[in-house]
Amino acid sequence: MQNKLIQSSALAPLGESFGRRLLQVAAGEFSGRLAALMQSSAGDIALSYADPPYTSWSNLQTLVSDAADTAFDCLIETSGDIHLVYTATGTCYLVTRKLTLSGGTWSAGSQVTIYDGGQCYSPSIVRESSGKLWVSYACFSPPVCTLYIKSSADGGASWGSGGSDAGTELAGPSMNLWAKTLIGLNDVIVIYTIDLQKIAMCCRPLSGGGWTSEFVISSGGSFSQNFDAAVRSDGLLALVYEAQGLYYREYDGNGWSPVVQIDSAVCTSPNVFFRAQAPAILYLSLFNGTQHVVKYSVRRAGVFTAPEALDRRACPFDSVILFDASSESFEDRTSEAASGTVGDLYHSKSGCLVGDTGDQIYLGMEAPFRYAHFVLSTAGSGGTVSYTYWDGSVWKSLTPAGGMSHLDAATERILLWQDYMHVPDDWQKCSIDSLNRFWIRIEVISSYATGPVGTQATAVSELHKLIVRR
pLDDT in tens, 311-335: 999 999 999 999 999 999 999 999 9
Is 16 contained in some domain? no
Is 469 contained in some domain? no
Is 2 contained in some domain? no
Separation of first and last alpha carbons in the chain: 18
Residues 297 and 393 in one domain: no
Residues 116 and 230 in one domain: yes
Boundaries of domain holding 414: 319-458
Domain end residue (candidates: 278, 309, 340):
309
Alpha-carbon distance of 463 to 423, in angstroms, equals: 19
Residues 420 and 441 in one domain: yes
Residues 305 and 324 in one domain: no
Is 433 contained in some domain? yes
Q: State mean pLDDT over 396-416.
A: 95
Structural domain tally of the chain? 2
Domain end residue (candidates: 309, 339, 360):
309
Residues 288 and 140 in one domain: yes
The predicted pLDDT at position 2 comes to 64
Exposure class string for 194-233: b at 16+ Cβ within 10 A, else e = beebbbbbbbbebeeeebeeeeebbeebebebbbbbbbbe
Alpha-carbon distance of 306 to 80, in angstroms, equals: 37
Is 378 contained in some domain? yes
Q: Which amino acid is at 156?
A: G
Strand partners, 134: 126, 151
pLDDT above 70 covers a percentage of the chain that reads 100
Residues 288 and 350 in one domain: no
Residues 94 and 117 in one domain: yes
Is 3 contained in some domain? no
**pLDDT category, 7, cuts 50, 70, 90?**
confident
Domain end residue (candidates: 259, 283, 309):
309
Is 109 contained in some domain? yes
Task: State pLDDT tens for residues 199-243.
Answer: 999 999 999 999 999 999 999 878 999 999 999 999 999 999 999
Given a cut of 60, whether residue 25 has pLDDT beyond it is: yes
**pLDDT category, 6, cuts 50, 70, 90?**
confident
What share of residues in the chain are helix, strand, coil (percent, to 5)?
A: 0, 50, 50
Task: State pLDDT tens for residues 127-184.
Answer: 999 999 999 999 998 899 999 999 999 999 999 999 999 999 999 899 889 999 999 9
Is 89 contained in some domain? yes
Residues 362 and 284 in one domain: no
pLDDT above 90 covers a percentage of the chain that reads 87
